[in-house]
Amino acid sequence: MVSSVNHSIASDELCGGGIGGERKLPEPCTIIIFGASGDLTARKLIPALYHLFKEKLMPAAFRVVGFARRDKTDASWRQELRDALHQFSRTQPVDEKLWQVFAENLCYCQGDLSDAADYQKLEALLTSFGSGPLRENLLFYLAISPSQFGEVVEQIHHCKLLNKESSAWQRVVVEKPFGHDLASAHALNRELTRYAHEAQVFRIDHYLGKETVQNILMFRFSNSIFEQLWNRNSVDHIQITVSEKLGVGGRGGYYEESGALRDMVQNHMLQVLSLIAMEPPVSLEAEAVRDEKVKLLKSIRLLTPADVARQVVRGQYFAGVVGGELRPGYRQEPKVKTDSNVETYVALKLLIDNWRWSGVPFYLRTGKNLPQSTSEVRIQFRPTPNVLFAAQCGSQLDANAITLRLQPNEGISLRFNGKVPGLSLGVRPVRMHFSYDSEFGAYTPEAYERLLLEAIVGDATLFIRRDEVETAWQIVDSIRQGWNGQPLTNREFYAAGTWGPIAADDLLAQAGHVWHEPQVIQ
């Protein structure tokens, strides 16, 4: 009985494909990667495409074209990627025969992003694939700096590779950051949609490709026992934690420009929040899901400078020990100013002004050089009335909670109270765990595998729409305006290897709440 139920849950044949419903079959196409010599291509994109090929999920016919400035041949680029696959593939050893078949579809085109003649060379290469879908169905992956997005989109339009009115399909995939504030995001979106429809632009956030993030909607809207509790009547507060064990390291120059608020809150954390709190969509079609996410983001109360002072905490790590290793302070990291006020940690309290969540605080925190690398959502339910067991057991009686573990060890945990065996009336919080690995015994695809496949088939559910980006920036900009260049206070510094500054604990203590340390789901 159990195995048959599990099979029905896991089976695409019985329950459809991704979030957007029954999966479409991928059509023959060519994937063009701009920035093909970069780290993202070697570490994520080619391994993801190789694993899709291994799982027989790629189109029956496809090509992958790398476009970059360095002088390489098809053979030398393939060898570089083969060496990288040996290091970054999630399955080892690499199947050599399968790789050889896959590699025959890899081509390299040397070119400069600002040289129109090189785009003509790219067009000629694509034309050599024939006049069918390998030439017409095109996925452009811009693994390059956002400052170059507009130029590349304009160039591929002028050489007739990107067309708003084509009977075939062309799609442009772009990586974050999508601007550094609302004004720059608006300008970037205007550049992208000058030569492409919004429906052709796929803004990728790899967090949305994680199994448990996608399972949030399934968990909420297919289980009546939980959906009835998912509101202000039952929920006391919600905590979203994205912690990183690593420090800034060699990314000091980038971090000086971004900080934790722009780097993590504006995209990953607000996206997770929108899925946790959104209303049920009218269908599982991409636009229906994204409509509800935007409505939720627009319901988040914007913070005034006075609100920021009460509801937002910055933090910056100083030297400390993480996992037995001595780590330098942020101001001692390469390319970081010795008097920098950039935040490596941020905690905030957000309120959602809608019927479902009125009065329920959402606490978000993220930081560098914390004790664990963990992403999770904890839904804390209201405590029982202070009578019966609550009155007798006092602090031993814990409030119920559901924890959605996004990484690592993806899974879901339910926390409730249980009687300790024996003659006395002892109580202890206990947990029920669900783990993807132990329950399904199947591989969990990497986020880029799922997102690339969705881009190929044209399902935009897991990608970010223009109004989502701009609404999220409105929230973040209101916080940055509240900071207004103010220096960090002593209560906002924290030692590397701890869970953040004292001020973050004070933030929750205002309402009698405490941060809960992430628990490992075995």
CATH at 471: 3.30.360.10
- Assigned token pair, 161: 């590779």
382-400 as b/e: b if 16+ CB within 10 A? eeeeeeeebeeeeeebbbb
Q: What is the total residue count of the chain?
A: 522
> Residue 268, class by beta-carbon neighbours within 10 Å (0-12 exposed, 13-18 middle, 19+ buried)?
buried
* β-pair partners for 379: 238, 402
Torsional sign, CA 414, 507, 311, 327: negative
What CATH code is carried by the domain that includes residue 54? Answer: 3.40.50.720
pLDDT of the residue at 388: 61
Q: Has residue 16 been placed in a domain?
A: no
* Closest listed residue to residue 303, CA positions, set 367, 364, 242: 364
Is-contact 121 69, C-beta < 8 A? no
**Class of residue 189 by CB neighbours under 10 A (exposed 0-12, middle 13-18, buried 19+):** buried
Q: Are residues 331 and 385 in the same domain?
A: yes
Q: For residues 75 and 218, state if they share a domain.
A: no
User: 285 and 17 in contact (C-beta within 8 Å)?
Assistant: no
* Cβ-based neighbours of 152, under 8 Å, separated by 6 or more: 34, 113, 140, 142, 144
**CB-based contacts of 264, cutoff 8 Å, min separation 6:** 242, 346, 366
Q: Give the closest residue to 247 by CA, choosing from 315, 348, 317.
A: 317
Whether 30 and 116 share a structural domain: yes
The rounded distance, in Å, linking the Cα atoms of 397 and 418 is: 9
DSSP designation for 371: S
Report yes or no on 181 lying in a domain: no
> Both 213 and 157 in a single domain?
no
The reply to whether 282 and 235 lie within a common domain is: yes
Q: Is 501 found in the same domain as 389? A: yes
* Model pTM score: 0.88
Q: Are residues 419 and 482 located together in one domain of the fold?
A: yes
**Residues 382 and 453 placed together within one structural domain of the fold:** yes
Asked if 498 contacts 489 with a C-beta cutoff of 8 angstroms, the reply is: no
Question: Whose CA is closest to 316, among 337, 301, 297?
Answer: 337
In a domain, 83, yes or no: yes
The reply to whether omega before 93 is within 30° of 0 (cis) is yes
One domain for residues 169 and 238? no
264 inside domain: yes
Please count the other Cβ atoms lying within 10 Å of the Cβ belonging to residue 420.
11
Residue 9: φ, ψ to 5°: -70, -40
Instruction: Note whether residue 456 is domain-resident.
Output: yes
Same domain, 277 and 137: no
First-to-last C-alpha distance (Å) of the chain: 24
Residue with tokens 């400069």: 112
Model pLDDT, residue 1: 32
Of 235, 231, 240, give the one whose Cα is nearest residue 280: 231
pLDDT of residue 135: 95
Question: What is the 3-state composition of the chain as percent helix, strand, coil, each rounded to the nearest 5?
Answer: 45, 20, 35
The DSSP annotation for 503-521 comes to: HHHHHHHTTT---------
Q: Is residue 213 part of a domain?
A: yes
Q: Which of 276, 279, 277, 298 is nearest to 288 (CA)?
A: 279
Q: State which of 155, 175, 195 marks the end of a domain.
A: 175
Whether residues 166 and 212 share a domain: the answer is: no
Q: Which residues, at least 6 apart from 273, have a Cβ–Cβ distance to it below 8 Å?
A: 240, 296, 300, 350, 362, 364
Q: What strands lie across the sheet with 235-243, from one edge to the other?
A: 426-435, 411-420, 401-407, 374-381, 235-243, 361-367, 345-351, 312-318, 493-495
**Side-chain half-sphere exposure of 467, counting CA atoms within 13 A:** 11
Question: What is the largest distance, in Å, between two alpha-carbon atoms of the chain?
Answer: 85
Q: Is 158 within a domain? A: yes
Rounded Cα gap, residues 227 and 281, in angstroms = 14
CA distance 74 to 79: 9
Of the candidates 93, 65, 83, 50, the residue with the CA atom closest to the CA atom of residue 453: 50
* Domain match, 337 and 215 both: yes
**Of 134, 154, 175, at which residue does a domain stop?**
175
CA nearest to 214, candidates 5, 463, 520, 469: 463
Measure Cα distances from 317 to 261, 328, 331, 342, 514 in Å. Answer: 15, 9, 9, 10, 21
Q: Does residue 86 lie in a domain region?
A: yes
- Domain boundary among the residues 175, 199, 225 is at 175
Residue 497 is part of which domain span?
208-509
Contact at 8 Å (CB) between 37 and 70? yes
Q: How far apart are CA 276 and CA 278, in angstroms?
A: 6
Number of domains the chain contains: 2
pLDDT values of the chain reduced to their tens digit, one per residue, 522 residues: 333 333 333 334 334 455 555 567 899 999 999 999 999 999 999 999 999 999 999 999 999 999 999 999 999 999 999 999 998 888 878 889 999 999 999 999 999 999 999 999 999 999 999 889 999 999 999 999 888 999 999 999 999 999 988 889 999 999 888 999 999 999 999 999 999 999 999 999 887 877 767 778 888 888 888 888 999 999 999 999 999 999 998 889 989 999 999 999 999 999 999 999 999 999 889 999 999 999 999 999 999 999 999 999 999 999 999 989 999 999 999 999 999 999 999 999 999 999 999 999 999 999 999 999 999 999 999 987 766 665 556 555 577 899 998 888 888 888 876 677 776 666 767 678 887 777 766 556 788 999 999 999 999 998 999 999 999 999 999 999 999 889 999 999 999 999 999 999 999 999 999 999 886 555
d(CA 376, CA 241): 5
Catalytically annotated residues: 268
